[in-house]
Amino acid sequence: MAEEETQVEEGPLPVLKWDQGIFEQIMRGFRFPPEWDAQYPRQGQTVVDAPQGYITLFEDFFPQGNFRLRATEFMAHILHHYGFHISQMSPPDMARVRHFEFLCRSHEIPTVEKFRVFYQFRNIGFYSFGNRGSAKKILLNPSKSFHDWKQKFFFIREEVVPIAMIFRELDTIEKEELPIPKGADWYLKLTETPMCPIVNTIKQ
């Protein structure tokens, strides 16, 4: 199965169905300080019910997507360039963004312009990044399925992501045809590598 076909759940946003104990493990393992005020949702709340001054994040962003708080400048640049909210991104796409950031940092500073060489922005019910067909693949063996990720969410203070985000309408996105710098030194250095999870610090 190609990376573009990563299986994710579609349809209406479901109600809360995940365990509070896992949420507490996330807070401890990823060292959320009290001032971030991470909140486990009440039964019946959905991802759109974040209180004023808070944002919604998904649990699978962290162990599977290698996301960390506070968010990096590169993540903020991605959100600013494409003009969407972090809660409109799926965990598989978080993994693509973070994998690119790690891979690029081993050679030079990651930029949105370089990211766009490899990935096409698209709308498939949420905002996603698919492989750009003419570019080489750089993510080896991506996860094929993130089960029930829409049901595993929490609220946290919005300042953990250093950008004023907006909710983008699910508009039509036209395919971009960009030149691929196949002879550029930085392009040649980025080779296909697996997504390696950051050491899991969560205490079981």
- Do 153 and 81 touch, CB atoms closer than 8 A? no
Q: What was the pLDDT predicted at 64?
A: 85
pLDDT on residue 7: 47
Instruction: Kindly give the parts of the chain with pLDDT less than 70.
Output: 1-17, 145, 198-204
pLDDT of residue 8: 47
**pLDDT attached to residue 19:** 86
Q: Are strands 193-194 and 139-140 parallel, antiparallel or unpaired?
A: parallel
70 preceded by cis ω (within 30°)?
Answer: yes
Q: Which amino acid is at 137?
A: K
Q: Can you spell out the DSSP letters for 188-199?
A: HH---EE--PPP
Q: Which pLDDT score, from 0 to 100, does residue 16 have?
A: 56
Cα gap 56→41, rounded to integer Å = 10
Predicted structure pTM score: 0.85
Residue 163: the pLDDT is: 92
Listed residue (5, 37, 9) closest to 159, CA to CA = 37
pLDDT at 12: 45
CB 164 within 8 A of CB 71: no
CA dihedral angle for residue 27, residue 33, residue 162, residue 41, rounded to 10 degrees: 40
State residue 139 phi and psi, 5-degree precision.
Answer: -105, 115
- In this prediction, residue 147 carries a pLDDT of 80
What pLDDT is recorded for position 204?
A: 34
Note the pLDDT of residue 55. 97
Bridge-based pairing of strands 54-58 and 153-157 is antiparallel
Domains of the chain, residue spans? 15-194
Q: What does the DSSP 8-state code read for residue 183? A: T
